Chain A
């Protein structure tokens, strides 16, 4: 993560009272990469998800170690888009992963 973006706030959904937690994808969710896009299968509900290239890049980075800012940096390098736009996309996608119960929750 570069220092120049430190003034941007971390999204609330990954923040606990004291700690910023990088998103971590659930290990039991089956994923399948097809032409830079990913199809996910959630085993408990049997739901299937289709991720476009941007969302696929975010999903791949949800390793519990990469912050959303670092993910946005990676999108900037890959798609040549402004950082703010990339971060906004990452936050939206990660929030959607969380709402869809595809991420580990902080106490897991």
Chain B
């Protein structure tokens, strides 16, 4: 977008676009054409006027620059400013943050867990952990390794069926993982980093750039992983008792209030049907191979692991 004079808008100002991200549609009104183009590189446009599951509405509004101040953009939802930034070229992380926030607000019917989610041969996997545990990097590695991508920020669990719902937002990787992204032969969107204050520089990967990498349907949860970055080269995977896994998982639930009693019973059903592990990550290639080998063992191996742990009292 160009502004020939202070405060003047171009032809695209205030126009509206609709994008689709999994089951969610995003209606975006934007004064900044550039951000719309960037989003179009990450998500497909949607023409439908009816939403399948949910629709979130956001607006990118250009504030008139003050006499000596720089132009500023606010990201607004229902008339309330959620976030904003000064530079149009660095608005994308702010908009992505706002989208995630609105999805969390909108999808209250799902148990929301701070975790990456993927599926492998129809089996859903949750990778839960705090920021910095390497969820997005591991999700990128698994995606590059043939897994179906659902989300890198949260797992949306449908409580009745205990299935994962896909919300394939762009993967957000920190600058420290750019080298790994190259190693995985993945490409950063627009081949550039964005400045994001609290996470440092970040880059985005559109899962759509990898053929058949986006999960299109829900998946039953068969595996729960707790990645842990140790800085070691050789990865290690340890089975976890279900009670401990439930406890760990409960710590990452985002909408505890909305679920109350049902949250814990849903978590119980998740761990009842899943194999649970702590993954101490090493080199990305070795870690991915290790996870794939465990995933390939199936549920009979899970029962065997669990029986063995119960007998030996491993906690």
Known: A34-B268, A34-B271, A46-B256. A41 touches B246 (CB 8 A): no
Which of A34, A37, A48 contacts B251, CB < 8 Å?
A: A48
Question: Are A37 and B241 touching (Cβ within 8 A)?
Answer: yes
Closest A residue to B309 by beta carbon equals A35
Question: Are A34 and B242 touching (Cβ within 8 A)?
Answer: yes
Question: Are A32 and B265 touching (Cβ within 8 A)?
Answer: yes
Total number of residue pairs linking A and B with CB closer than 8 Å: 49
Interface membership of A43, Cβ < 8 A: yes
Q: Mark A34-51, 1 if CB is under 8 A from B, else 0.
A: 110111010100101111
Interface membership of B267, Cβ < 8 A: yes
Q: Chain B contact residues (Cβ within 8 angstroms of A): what range?
A: 20 to 34
Determine how close the nearest CB of chain A comes to the CB of B128; give it in whole angstroms: 13
Closest A residue to B243 by beta carbon equals A37
Known: A34-B271, A35-B310, A41-B250. A50 touches B243 (CB 8 A): yes
Interface size on A, residues (CB 8 A): 16
Interface membership of A30, Cβ < 8 A: yes
Question: Are B256 and A39 touching (Cβ within 8 A)?
Answer: no
Interface membership of A100, Cβ < 8 A: no
Known: A48-B251, A52-B315. A34 touches B246 (CB 8 A): yes
Which of A38, A41, A43 contacts B243, CB < 8 Å?
A: A38
Determine how close the nearest CB of chain A comes to the CB of B280; give it in whole angstroms: 20
Question: Are B251 and A32 touching (Cβ within 8 A)?
Answer: no
Provide the bound-state CA to CA distance between A48 and B253, in Å. 11
Q: Which residues of B contact A51 (CB under 8 A)?
A: 243
Provide the bound-state CA to CA distance between A63 and B271, in Å. 28
Chain B: interface secondary structure? helix
B231-246 CB contacts (< 8 Å) to partner A: 241-244, 246
A39-72 CB contacts (< 8 Å) to partner B: 39, 41, 43, 46, 48-52
Determine how close the nearest CB of chain A comes to the CB of B204; give it in whole angstroms: 32
Q: Which residues of A contact B260 (CB under 8 A)?
A: 30, 43
Determine how close the nearest CB of chain B comes to the CB of A49; give it in whole angstroms: 8
Question: Are B241 and A41 touching (Cβ within 8 A)?
Answer: no
Question: Are B243 and A30 touching (Cβ within 8 A)?
Answer: no
Provide the bound-state CA to CA distance between A48 and B244, in Å. 11
Closest B residue to A31 by beta carbon equals B264
Question: Are B263 and A35 touching (Cβ within 8 A)?
Answer: no
Residue positions of B touching A, CB distance < 8 A: 241-244, 246-247, 250-251, 256-257, 260-261, 263-265, 267-268, 271-272, 306, 310, 315
Known: A41-B250, A43-B260, A48-B251. 10 other contacts (CB 8 A): A35-B243, A35-B306, A41-B256, A41-B263, A46-B256, A48-B247, A49-B247, A50-B244, A50-B247, A52-B315
Q: List 10 A-B contacts (CB under 8 A).
A: A34-B242, A34-B243, A35-B241, A37-B241, A39-B267, A41-B250, A41-B256, A41-B264, A48-B250, A50-B243
